[in-house]
Copies of this chain bind each other. A is one copy, B any other.
Amino acid sequence: MDAVQAANSGHPGMPMGMADVATVLFSDYLKFDPTQPKWADRDRFVLSAGHGSMLIYSLLHLTGYARPTIEDIAHFRQLHSPCAGHPENFELAGVEATTGPLGSGLATAVGMAIAERHLNAQFGDDLVDHRTWVIAGDGCLMEGINHEAIGLAGHLNLGRLIVLWDDNKITIDGAVDLSSSEDVRARYEATGWHVVSCDGHDVADVRRALAEAVADPRPSLVACATKIGYGSPNKAGTSGVHGSALGEAEVAAAREYLGWDAAPFVIPADIAAAWKAIGAKGFQTRCEWEERLRAAPAHIHTEFERRMGGFLPDDFSLEAYIDSLIAAPQKVATRKASELTLGAINDLLPETLGGSADLTGSNNTKTKSTGPLTKDDYSGRYVYYGIREFGMACAMNGMALHGGVIPYGGTFLVFSDYMRAGIRLAALQQQRVIHVLTHDSIGLGEDGPTHQPIEHVMSMRMIPNLDVYRPADIVETAECWELALKDATGPSVLALTRQNLPQLRTQKSENLSAKGAYRLVAAGADRKVVLIATGSEVEIAVDTAKALEEQGIGADVVSMPSWAHFDAQPQSYKDDLLPHHVLRVSIEAGTTFGWERHTGIAGLRFGIDSFGASAPAEALYDHFGLTAAKIAPQIVAALNN
């Protein structure tokens, strides 16, 4: 309450209400060692109710993590303090996940729990044997993603996942019953969970409940009856204590009520010592675990550390696979190309963990080396996520945060809208999560406008730290997959076609997609035009260039699978590729919004700025004017203007 008061901003209610429960968790159950926050076999703790960030900052400080210091805490919510408004994994080693967007933390924890069981199946109890703990509030439970997350966890019977529900009966707008009449316990039970309740302010009762949760083979919900803002004599139990500082007078009243004499940011020595002792408990356990790791066969030890470190094998290369493509060109959809690439990748990388939100046969995400991951066999490398896109995205985030696996998952590109908040969290958390998003334009045909992405590719290009790839053929698909795998610091999206595309790259070369854009075809005649295209429209650009060359108009074709990689190139490379003195033309079967960056205002932009339509793909390309026959004359007209 002092940190929130100092900032005059923040959420005192949850930290005060859940302090008793968290104390029991950290004292008696959580396996951790503050001196080695990244110890692989530590329990994972996710504060899904991220607005209560002062709770975890307090716990990390008290138990002896190097950061946050008490000064960090005194600068809660100030620029450059690691004690940000909501907990951020990239700021503090003890923060396992960035939370705040409600429900996403719990869903992320489901992914951590899957990764734990998966690695346990691969490396055994000696090396992988930990739990995942979550503190969640009513908001986390009311969000739709909660249904997806607990459905998946229940189905996979993730018994090492325990959710502590801050059952305080308060939301921001007032009492929970203002907006919900649900029997939460019954809902969790209906989904295969074990449910136990306790008085969140009775330490013995909390301990009993946690013991029951640990003992039960199912995932557990522990309903902790608490009073929000406990200790604040005049505001506890009201929505007024949720998201505002108590005010000086009420802080003083709370000190009085709690019998707390110490000044703000002063921890009495006896209390500091008791917490340090709690923090020291895990040291011995961690040392024993390290002994077991050292005692393991060398190749296991090495492999485990490689996997948990997120390093690809030194000899990982798709060169042989790409050589085989060059040797025998083929016309396939890029979703199929992705499947073929994944066949090679999954054989080389045991850490890939695939899946799809019930579109396996459409996303082409399953390969022969990835058997299903089930509650009876967690060693499988393929998750049937069900019709749970957002849940899948957050679970993948949790897998990546846990470490030891590289998650990828598929759905239709248009449904990136369902999980956009999860994709953004992967980018913010700097996690290697790979989204295989197929059916990436009107080229999917008959399913019509509800299923046809228009703004999706462009709108994801502007999410910071997200790499969006739209490969033009089977070779670019392999190149983009390679780039996605090699970037350990952020997520990637692969936008892939339903329809077949010719192989445009038939010469052996370096990874040209790494530059983001490159000259695929050089003008024959005197260059007047540069055609810039992505994905399935590169073929159309090539045809358009031919039509222009037939009229003596020289046209380069530039394939641009990644805007982000291109933006990172030296200006000289960009100027050479897209010179300002020629007519620059973009062709992409999506919004033209944003293409001014590469064409200039004076250039031409061919795309679709309305919703799509239901018809076979060829009919749609013609209808929306995206054919060489319709584009070339407009370029000629512009040149003659």
Contacts and interface: CB of A to CB of B under 8 A. Distances in A.
A155 B180 contact: yes
Interface in A173-193: 173-174, 178-187, 189-192
A448 B144 contact: no
A391 B179 CA distance: 12
Contact of A9 (B144, B186, B446): B446
A454 interface: yes
A144 B391 contact: yes
Contact of A458 (B421, B462, B609): B462
B593 A462 contact: yes
Interface size of A as a range: 35 or more
Contacts of A449: 84, 88, 428
Contacts of A459: 455, 458-459, 462
A615 B450 contact: no
Interface stretch (A199-207, A263-271, A596-604): A596-604
Interface string A309-351: 0000000000000000000000000000000000000000000
B591 A596 contact: no
Contacts of A613: 79, 84
Contacts of A580: 601
Contacts of A173: 356, 358-361, 384
Contact of A387 (B10, B138, B445, B593): B138
B142 A144 contact: no
Given A179-B385, A593-B594, A594-B462, A100 B143 contact: no
Contacts of A80: 615
A78 interface: yes
Contacts of A464: 454-455, 591, 609-611
Nearest to A190: B186
A613 B464 CA distance: 13
A360 B462 CA distance: 30
A449 to B, nearest CB: 6
A528 B599 CA distance: 24
Interface stretch (A25-33, A34-42, A54-62, A146-154): A146-154
A281 interface: no
Contact of A154 (B181, B190, B447, B610): B181
B446 A615 contact: no
A388 to B, nearest CB: 6
Interface stretch (A250-258, A282-290, A412-420): A412-420
B428 A611 contact: yes
Contacts of A88: 448-450
A280 B391 CA distance: 46
A386 interface: yes
Interface string A447-486: 1111100110011011111000000000000000000000
A168 to B, nearest CB: 14
A619 interface: yes
Contact of A148 (B143, B181, B421, B596): B143
A530 to B, nearest CB: 14
Interface of A: 7, 9-10, 50, 77-81, 84-86, 88, 98-103, 138-139, 142-148, 151-152, 154-155, 171-174, 178-187, 189-192, 356, 358-362, 372, 384-391, 414-415, 417-418, 420-421, 424-425, 427-428, 445-451, 454-455, 458-459, 461-465, 580, 591, 593-594, 596-597, 600-601, 609-611, 613-616, 619-620, 623
Given A99-B450, A601-B601, 10 more contacts: A9-B616, A78-B616, A100-B450, A100-B451, A144-B145, A173-B356, A179-B358, A179-B387, A179-B388, A455-B464
